[in-house]
């Protein structure tokens, strides 16, 4: 029961609040107050009294306005005697008999703060049952009981280790606004500020937060030091002065091919050589034996299968069984070369790697031996040219979830590729998230930059020549162009706005208001790299370490079906426009006569793509070796397909 004259709390009303217990550093604390030896245990006892008051208020029918937001702050609540009375009405049997709380139980409130019920000592329980002293407001105050200081310090250090930052303090120290019943956001903001002030005056043995703050400060200092090590860019409006040697390299490999006068089959077998055919035979027989099938395939049979795949590119049938049904010149070749059932059996067991030695981290491990050997052959016989283009293409596959906008084939397997300006494929790699190409590379350059650097290393295997690489905005950055310059390579590419590193070029929106042919440019003085923004059919920004503005040519555009002089076109814009079509030309050639026969294996589409690419490269060499008398692509492909079917037929079939 309360004091005389005191009205019982109405239903739904908060219990009357006690004056808050002032800690050193509180706004209401007396000046010069120092923490006493038993201060912290007193806080724990007051907190226990508050929790009892909450249960007593609940038994009396008092419901707080926001029960999910936790109890009132430290120092608020009813007296210890009221906790016993309330426990008899609403608490469990254990509470009625004064059972001491044991395990720590933490309750997360709605606003992110915590109200923790911690283990208390028997002395605290007895002290809570004793009557408190009355305040001047007529309300009893919780008594103070001393607890060994070392136990309290150990307990607080345990809390500090369990919760990051100052969260431990917010659990056990509440503001005066909370004690008075202020549940507004303004009160919570003041609470956080007060907790921060209190933390400055508290120190415990083995303070882990101090160590974390020191580590954080050291991390920020190291980050600032790293940023200070990077010199600021010094942009000047002038033309670039490249210091690369001129290109004067003679392609001796192409001269040897011209002197040998190779036919289309011999050119195609520069890439599908005997080593690859033997590898396919061995892995196919090995895979069939693992399935308890006696296949015993031979190299001539693999050539017959390859001939039928090449034939399907220009002789199309709705079903592959119809290549043996219809009687015409091409179908007679197929029927005379190999039986249909034999073809189906070999094609279903066609394999390129040993399943017992697969790299589980490589998604294309079943094709990795074939990809490595083809890349080696592509590079060995590639024309030695000054300009190369690096980009991305797609291998058609509607079961894939990869998408590439702006390509004739937008759904399939994405493939990184480096080509010559005429479309000869020098190097390729199917896209995967954890690519082996990215192992040990520069993280700052990103995926695109590291792929370009890998392609540059592939080219440098042929010799330390000043190649000129072109690429689009997915790959280009000032760091990449600088890294290629250190390797002795020239580079030019379109660049995105967020990678210009604060180059003061004219804004694109402002440049659109200028007439066509207008351009702005800057040169970085330290690294001699130029950035140019030009208004042509659209706004284009380029970055280069080898070619600049001069010599600028006259730019002519069409307006109302008439050629009108529009202005000047910088040299790097003109050169980039001429050399960026390498991948597009390769895609155009491959798309004319694709392999149409597919198997149920997921990688069969990639095998067909590799066959088409090898045919494209062989035809590129054929045109280079026979400038005036070269066969067109259809006749070249037909020659190879007919040769394989005629000269590798099995007489027993």
Per-residue DSSP letters for 551-612? SPEEEEEEETTEEEEEEEE-HHHHHHHHHTTHHHHHHHHHHHS------SSTTHHHHHHHHH
Distance of alpha carbon 642 from alpha carbon 353, whole angstroms: 28
Contacts of 32 (CB under 8 A, 6+ apart): none
pLDDT number for residue 137:
47
3-state secondary structure of 13: coil
Strand partners, 411: 403
Distance between CA atoms of residues 630 and 309, nearest Å = 23
CA atoms within 13 A on the CB side of 597: 22
Closest CA to 299 of 287, 311, 282, 315: 282
Report the distance separating Cα 50 and Cα 330, nearest Å.
Answer: 96
> The tokens of 393 are what?
């293409």
Residue 384 pLDDT > 90, yes or no?
yes
Specify the pairing of strand 529-535 against strand 539-544.
antiparallel
Per-residue pLDDT tens digits for 202-250: 544 444 455 556 666 666 666 555 554 556 889 999 999 999 999 989 8
pLDDT digits (tens, 9 = 90+) for 623-649: 999 998 999 999 999 999 999 999 887
Asked if pLDDT for residue 48 goes beyond 50, the answer is yes
Give residue 608's pLDDT band: very low, low, confident or very high (50, 70, 90): very high
Is 290 or 332 the better-scoring residue by pLDDT? 290
DSSP per-residue string spanning 524-562: ETTTTEEEEEEESSSEEEEEESS--SPSPEEEEEEETTE
Question: What is the C-alpha separation between 568 and 451, in angstroms, rounded?
Answer: 34
Question: Distance from CA of residue 337 to its chain's centroid?
Answer: 50
Q: pLDDT grade, residue 434 (50/70/90)?
A: confident
Q: Which candidate, 179, 175, 118, 127, places its Cα nearest to that of 152? A: 118
Highest mean pLDDT among 86-100, 201-215, 575-589: 575-589
Residue-level pLDDT at 124 = 46
Residue 651: pLDDT band (50, 70, 90) is: low
Residue 101 confidence (pLDDT):
47
Structure tokens at 184: 């507004």
Cα separation, 325 vs 323, in Å, equals 6
pLDDT of 308: 96
pLDDT on residue 400: 52
Above 60 in pLDDT, residue 15? Answer: no
Question: Hey, which residues does 563 pair with through a beta bridge?
Answer: 558
What is the pLDDT, as a whole number, of residue 24?
47
Query: CA angle, corner 512, sides to 511 and 518, nearest 5?
Result: 55
Closest CA to 479 of 517, 512, 453, 455: 453
Beta strands 235-236 and 425-430, pairing class:
unpaired
Write phi, then psi, for 564 (nearest 5 degrees).
-125, 135
Mean pLDDT, the chain, integer = 76
- Residue 292 Cα distances to 279, 343, 353, angstroms: 20, 18, 17
How far apart, in whole angstroms, are the C-alpha atoms of residue 240 and residue 543?
11
CA distance 16 to 268: 94
Residue 280 has pLDDT above 70, yes or no: yes
The values of phi and psi at residue 545, to 5°, are: -115, 10
Per-residue pLDDT at 342:
95
Structure tokens at 182: 């202020």
Token pair for 506: 């004219």
Peptide bond into 17 cis (omega under 30): no
**What is the residue whose two structure tokens read 């200028």?**
514
The pairing of beta strand 529-535 with beta strand 519-524? antiparallel
Helix ranges (H only) for 417-558 are 446-460, 478-486, 508-512
Q: Which region among 147-161, 491-505, 514-528, 617-631 has the lowest average model confidence (pLDDT)?
A: 147-161
In this model, does residue 271 exceed pLDDT 90?
A: yes
- Burial class (CB within 10 angstroms; exposed 0-12, middle 13-18, buried 19+) of 593: buried
Per-residue pLDDT at 424 exceeds 80: yes
Give the domain ranges of the chain.
Answer: 39-215, 255-357+585-647, 369-583
Question: How high is the pLDDT of residue 14?
Answer: 45
Strand partners, 413: 395
Q: Are the C-beta atoms of 132 and 42 separated by less than 8 Å?
A: no
pLDDT, residue 560, reads 53
> Does the pLDDT at position 151 exceed 60?
no
pLDDT band at 442 (very low <50, low <70, confident <90, very high): confident
């Amino acid at each position: 029961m309360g004091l005389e004259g005191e009205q019982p709390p109405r239903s739904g009303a908060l219990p009357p609040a006690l004056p808050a217990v002032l800690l050193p550093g509180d706004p209401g604390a007396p000046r010069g107050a120092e923490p006493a030896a038993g201060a912290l245990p007193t806080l724990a006892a007051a907190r226990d009294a508050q929790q009892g008051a909450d249960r007593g208020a609940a038994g009396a029918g008092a419901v707080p306005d926001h029960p999910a937001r936790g109890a009132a702050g430290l120092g608020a609540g009813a007296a210890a005697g009221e906790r016993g009375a309330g426990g008899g009405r609403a608490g469990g049997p254990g509470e009625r008999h004064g059972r001491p709380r044991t395990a720590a139980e933490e309750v997360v409130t709605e606003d992110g703060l915590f109200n923790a019920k911690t283990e208390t000592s028997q002395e605290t329980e007895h002290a809570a049952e004793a009557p408190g002293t009355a305040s001047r407001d007529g309300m009893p105050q919780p008594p103070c009981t001393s607890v060994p200081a070392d136990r309290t310090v150990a307990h607080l250090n345990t809390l500090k280790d369990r919760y990051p930052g100052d969260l431990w303090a917010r659990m056990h120290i509440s503001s005066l606004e909370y004690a008075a019943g202020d549940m507004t956001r303004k009160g919570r903001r003041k609470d956080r500020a007060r907790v921060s002030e209190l933390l400055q005056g508290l120190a415990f043995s083995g303070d882990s937060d101090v160590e974390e703050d020191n580590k954080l400060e050291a991390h920020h200092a190291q980050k600032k030091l790293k940023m200070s090590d990077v010199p600021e860019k010094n942009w000047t409006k002038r033309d670039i002065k490249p210091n690369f040697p001129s290109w004067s390299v003679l392609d001796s490999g192409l001269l040897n091919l011209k002197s040998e006068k190779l036919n289309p089959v011999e050119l195609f077998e520069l890439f599908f050589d005997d080593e690859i055919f033997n590898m396919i035979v061995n892995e196919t027989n090995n895979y069939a034996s693992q399935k308890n099938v006696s296949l015993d395939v031979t190299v001539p049979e693999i050539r017959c299968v390859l001939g039928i795949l090449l034939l399907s590119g220009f002789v199309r049938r709705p079903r592959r069984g119809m290549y043996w049904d219809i009687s015409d010149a091409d179908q007679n070749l197929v029927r005379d070369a190999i039986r249909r059932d034999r073809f189906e059996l070999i094609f279903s067991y066609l394999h390129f790697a040993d399943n017992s030695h697969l790299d589980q981290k490589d998604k294309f491990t079943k094709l990795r031996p074939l990809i490595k050997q083809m890349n080696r052959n592509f590079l060995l016989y590639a024309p030695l040219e000054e300009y190369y283009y690096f980009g991305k293409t797609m291998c058609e596959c509607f079961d894939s979830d990869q998408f590439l906008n702006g390509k004739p084939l937008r759904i399939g397997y994405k493939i990184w590729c480096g080509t010559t300006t005429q479309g000869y494929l020098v190097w390729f790699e199917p896209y995967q998230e954890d690519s082996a190409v990215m192992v040990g590379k520069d993280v700052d350059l990103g995926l695109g930059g590291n792929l370009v650097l890998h392609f540059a290393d592939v080219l440098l295997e042929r010799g330390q020549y000043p190649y000129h690489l072109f690429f689009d905005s997915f790959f280009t950055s000032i760091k990449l162009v600088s890294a290629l310059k250190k390797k002795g390579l020239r580079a030019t590419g379109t660049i995105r706005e967020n990678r210009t590193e604060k180059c003061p070029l004219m804004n694109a929106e402002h440049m659109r208001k200028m007439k066509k042919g207008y351009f702005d440019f800057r040169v970085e003085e330290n690294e001699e790299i130029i950035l140019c923004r030009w208004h042509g059919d659209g706004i284009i920004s380029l970055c280069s370490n080898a070619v600049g503005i001069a010599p600028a040519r006259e730019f002519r555009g069409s307006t109302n079906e008439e050629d009108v002089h529009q202005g000047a076109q910088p040299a790097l814009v003109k050169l980039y426009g001429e050399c960026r079509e390498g991948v597009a030309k390769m895609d155009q050639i491959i798309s004319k006569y694709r392999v149409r026969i597919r198997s149920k294996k997921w990688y069969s589409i990639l095998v067909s793509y590799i066959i088409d690419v090898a045919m494209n490269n062989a035809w590129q060499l054929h045109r280079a070796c026979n400038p005036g008398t070269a066969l067109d692509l259809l006749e070249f492909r037909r020659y190879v397909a007919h040769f394989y079917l005629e000269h590798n037929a099995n007489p027993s079939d």
